[in-house]
Structure 1
Amino acid sequence: MTATEPGAQTVSRRLVALDIDGTLLVTGQNPTSAVLGAIRAARYAGHELVLATGRSLSGALYAARLLEIADGHIVASNGAVVARMDRGGYEVTGIHTVDAKAVVEFVTVVRPDLRIAAGIVGEGYHVSTFFPPEELGGVQVEVAQPDDLWTGSTPRLAIYGVNASHLVPSIRALGMTATRTRPDWVDVTPGGVSKATALESLRREVGIPKSRTVAIGDSENDISMLSWAERGVAMGNAPALVRFAANYATRSVEDDGAALILESLAQPDEDHADETRSGGANADTVGTR
């Protein structure tokens, strides 16, 4: 259970899964004071906040520091890595590895122009060619040959380049989970692993009923957790496919949409607010289904 401040009220405790980029913050920018305040309020109310991201663990830990979250759980690499933070330190509690060899061999044959990164848990990436620094969190080590990308186990591969997303069906045919993050970016994780599978395991571990789950996200790699949660909230900047997977929507990341949801969860009458959300109890949050 995430530690909360003395006096926290836990009667209405929820598990709240939070995407990072495009949800809690704009990539490359610091979180706003509204988001930081809402996170503090939700934690004080006793909720179990879980950062659930496509970022590597090192990138997620960096974001946790920006968000002033020092303890609790992280779901990184789209569910392939789970860790528990404790006052500045962390422990990896779960990891699933991808068959990097099959993916790398396929990509280097059909699209040798694409860049490939293999995540190294807690450190950074081995890369076929250096990525722009703003695209990957953590140290990049360029390998001498493609074989070196699979010499060590990895939970996640990132494939980057023009129209990289066209490879998604073929990579899925190899038995992997391939997620189109952008037209030029694909995340590859083990088959059957997602943010939702990791969150369900955590939910059972911390003993929170499924009916008390919330997820907030903006991208295609959030679809599984938005569908999994009892209350799936799409950001205002989310594409239509993501909004369809959610049953609520909020403002965009630029307008602190996630903060609005977290603030509502910190209110003592949150259950009533849930019942009337699509009816105007908060005009900034509306039902989408």
Structure 2
Amino acid sequence: MIMARSASTSDTENPPLPTPLTDAPRLVASDIDGTLLVTGQLPAVSVIEAVAAVRDAGHHFALATGRSLSGALTAARELGLTDGWLVASNGAVTARLAGGSYTVLETRDVDAEAAIRLATRIRPDMRIAVEIVGIGYHVSEHFPVRALNGDQVKVGRLSDLWVGPTPRVVVYGQDAQRLVPALRAAGLTAIATRVDWVDITVGSVSKATAVERLRRDLNIPAERTVSIGDAENDIELLQWAWRGVAMGHATAQVQDAADEVTGTVGEDGAAAVLDALRSAAMP
């Protein structure tokens, strides 16, 4: 119930964007973890069916996640998605999924050297990972099993972490969240997803900025946008959408950024939102 408040790689060439349908399709952007599924668990059947029904109704569906592209692809498979859009790494990577294969449309690379030097100067005990799009991570030390999506390759020197471009740097260790103010002061986007985990991307990039570009490319009117999320990195996404829906277990700060609140992830709250779209119950 919604409550209103007061794959494998594809060719390098980008395929043409689909022509928008004449019956004004929506662009629906949804977070993954804590929204469509509980982290580490498979999505509920009701969520899988609701996602499929929304797409069958002609709407555009985008997964918008803090996960790497590898992690977003895993979730897409679990949700039965073979076509759609993947906004990964908190908006730093955008890909198109078609026929089970993907094409990277855009990456926004972060200054990994500046981020890592700053983080390790303040906290030299932190473990560092840099994302290699679609593959995994280069790491200063191995992270716990399943903490990162994709392969982990340990480098010999810290400077090896910034040899190539990367859209995201991960800092992991006790009280890593204390690094956030310094990283933000340096013009970086820093999000503490847990007290011991900080995601760092280029400044001014978010899920919302990436999905907005999709909206423009697809020629979807702003009033035909919907988003669903549950965490701090969803706040801008919820504010971006014409109808932003927060999960019932989200913090007050996240719920305040939304237009509506649905059930918790345990109550399959996202399925209720998607079912409302399918049945045209959502204006």
TM-score normalized by structure 1?
0.89
Question: Match of 1:16, SS?
Answer: strand
State the distance in 2 between where 1:266 and 1:45 align.
Answer: 7
Residue matched to 1:121: 133
Q: CA deviation at 1:13?
A: 1.5
- Alpha carbons 1:10, 1:45 under 8 Å: kept: no
- Alpha carbons 1:10, 1:47 under 8 Å: kept: no
- 276, 280, 283: which one pairs with 1:268? 280
Q: Quickly say closer, same or farther: Cα 1:182–1:10, change in 2 above 3 A.
A: farther
The answer to whether structure 1 residue 88 and structure 2 residue 120 are counterparts is no
State the distance in 1 between where 2:18 and 2:79 align.
Answer: 15
The answer to whether structure 1 residue 44 and structure 2 residue 56 are counterparts is yes
Question: Match of 1:178, SS?
Answer: strand
Question: Match of 2:70, SS?
Answer: helix
- 245, 270, 275: which one pairs with 1:258? 270
State the distance in 1 between where 2:256 and 2:198 align.
Answer: 21
Q: CA deviation at 1:58?
A: 0.9
Question: Match of 1:133, SS?
Answer: coil
The answer to whether structure 1 residue 207 and structure 2 residue 213 are counterparts is no
Q: CA deviation at 1:10?
A: 6.6
Aligned length: 267
Residues 213-252 of structure 1 mapped to structure 2, 5 A cutoff: 213-252=225-264
- Alpha carbons 1:57, 1:76 under 8 Å: kept: yes
- Alpha carbons 2:27, 2:62 under 8 Å: kept: yes
Q: Identity, % of aligned pairs?
A: 56
Read off the aligned partner of 2:74 and give its amino acid letter.
Y
- 121, 124, 128: which one pairs with 1:109? 121
Read off the aligned partner of 2:131 and give its amino acid letter.
G
Deviations 1:78-101 (A, max 9, x none): 111100011111111111100000
State the distance in 2 between where 1:260 and 1:142 align.
Answer: 43
Q: Which runs of 5+ in 1 are unaligned?
A: 272-289
State the distance in 1 between where 2:264 and 2:218 align.
Answer: 30
Question: Match of 2:181, SS?
Answer: helix
Deviations 1:256-280 (A, max 9, x none): 0000000000013432xxxxxxxxx
Q: CA deviation at 1:2?
A: 6.8
Q: Which runs of 5+ in 2 are unaligned?
A: 1-16
Deviations 1:205-231 (A, max 9, x none): 011101111110111111111111111
TM-score normalized by structure 2?
0.91
- Alpha carbons 1:223, 1:242 under 8 Å: kept: yes
Q: CA deviation at 1:12?
A: 4.7
Higher RCO structure, 1 or 2 (CA under 8 Å, sep 6+): 2
Q: CA deviation at 1:163?
A: 1.3
- Alpha carbons 1:2, 1:49 under 8 Å: kept: no
State the distance in 1 between where 2:63 and 2:153 align.
Answer: 26
Over 3 Å off, 4+ runs: 1-4
Residue matched to 1:283: none
Read off the aligned partner of 2:208 and give its amino acid letter.
A
